[in-house]
Structure 1
């Protein structure tokens, strides 16, 4: 390399090195502020490290201890978006901290919470006009991009779920409120895994899809079992039964209304199948409006 080329490359190299050291310091600072009890670990009598140990962060994030140690030592190693996402969740980062972590790691956060979802104001108004019918807009990855007030209370309290976790697949497999509200849970989980496999065929290798799959496989034994069946099911209208925590049993007809020519974003609606469900939806809507 010529002297001129070296001088040109030097600032970039120094910038990259500075960013690695900033990343290492940021990870240490966030690791040290989390008490073991916050993540379900026992403190023990010999703990000297404030917060979590490196090996605990590595284990909770499903990464190698040596690899994570190198990361905190500011070594020049590659970091995937799946790993950055896992670290953000393990370290309980808020939205600003999560964005900062991705920036320091030189990665782009592919979750809808980190970017514009593409939902128009007209579509949001349509969601409002459908109330008390629960409705939302999802993409082909099952991220919930927008929803009305009735949908927010359909299976618990969706507003309380962090935006990056508002994904139907994740919620069906890992969220206790959603799992408790679904009457035929095992059948629903198996069907949704088959639908995800069908949708994923057109997105193999995309970071956001790989990140979702990695998280599901890490956090849910039920998903791993269903995923290994290699079943494939397309979209279809179907009857859903929920045990809503606010108004009780609901029998609803699920319909997908596609917003584009291809199988991408869609509006999902849940219309009542009987008069009792209709009355209960109206009551749920009043509860949602008052909250």
Structure 2
């Protein structure tokens, strides 16, 4: 264990994480950038004294559980997480799980896309953030924010007779979920979602047992707008692999009915 390098690394990373990135209020009277020691300790579920001693290079050797918690609290990328484990004399295990914290940079990107519906999902298809154009195109997000749960157990649950596009989405997202369950084998959120779906949807279980695996890429999606009718849109995905998140954009080919509708929706978007 290299206590000096570990202390330097923790101090440096703490200074680089903004309160908003960690889901904390910015507050006032911050003399230095980044998180306070007590904030990191609270996010990691350890005592402030224990964390302070690590930053001072005099703490005990942290356990793998503590290292994993610090990696989540400091929003470390996978290579940074591996480096943290190695400094403490441990071999890093598999990724701990997808983050539910949408970075300030991604949120800023959503806000700037005033002509493009866009939203953020995590590896298990929880809807994490969206912009005003997404609301104008698809309405307010439902109370249940998991898209796979809504596909199989929502108001119009999937059956073998569902529309072809609904069946295709179910197969793609389920195969994507299986890939996420392997990438994040210790993530309780993914395990819990799969268990809930097995208990509630025989159709999910039947399709899950087909053992399809994939990661979704760009596709074409048809949406039915209550005013403008059928819209053919290109669904583009930007993978933020360090967070286990995807930014989903809906665009339309120039000169199409869908492009005209998006242009009209943009003009009606209120400032938020």
Indicate the TM-score class for this superposition, using the shorter chain for normalisation: 0.5 to 0.7
Q: Indicate the residue corresponding to 2:147 in structure 1.
A: 168
Q: Could you list the runs of 5+ residues in structure 1 that have no partner in the other structure?
A: 1-111
- Find the residue that maps to 1:235 and give its secondary structure: coil
Question: Is residue 184 from structure 1 mapped to residue 155 from structure 2 by the alignment?
Answer: no
Mapped to 2, the partners of 1:138 and 1:238 lie a distance apart of 16
Mapped partners of 1:182, 1:151: distance in 2: 23
Instruction: Give TM-score scaled by structure 1 length.
Output: 0.51
- The 8 Å contact of residues 182 and 242 in structure 1, kept in 2 or not, is answered as no
Give 3-state SS (helix, strand or coil) of 1:184's partner. Answer: helix
CA distances 1:156-195 after superposition (whole Å, capped 9, x unpaired):
431xx22xx212212222333797x987111211121111
Contact 1:154/1:244 (8 A) holds in 2: yes
Match of 2:140 among 157, 166, 176: 157
Task: Summarize the Cα distance change of 1:240–1:189 in structure 2 as closer, same or farther, 3 Å threshold.
Answer: same
Alignment of structure 1 residues 185-264 onto 2, 5 Å: 185-260=166-241, 262=242, 264=244
Q: Structure 2 residue aligned with 1:140, among 123, 137, 143?
A: 123
Q: Deviations over 1:34-85 (max 9, x none)?
A: xxxxxxxxxxxxxxxxxxxxxxxxxxxxxxxxxxxxxxxxxxxxxxxxxxxx
Q: Distance in 2 between matches of 1:225 and 1:167?
A: 20
Q: How many residues align?
A: 171
Which whole-Å CA distance do the structure 1 matches of 2:108 and 2:163 have between them?
A: 28
Segments of 5+ residues of structure 2 without an aligned counterpart are 1-97
Counting only pairs closer than 5 Å after superposition, residues 1-291 of structure 1 correspond to structure 2 as: 117-158=100-141, 161-162=142-143, 165-176=144-155, 184-260=165-241, 262=242, 264-274=244-254, 275-285=256-266, 289=270
Change in CA separation of 1:170 and 1:289 when aligned onto 2, cut-off 3 Å: farther
Cα contact 2:119–2:128 (8 A) shared by 1:
yes
User: What's 1:93 paired with?
Assistant: none
Residue 117 of structure 1 aligns to a residue in which SS? coil
What RMSD over aligned residues (CA atoms) do the two structures have, in Å?
Answer: 3.0
Distance 1:122 1:178 in 2: 35
Q: Residues of 2 paired with 1:278 and 1:149: CA distance?
A: 17
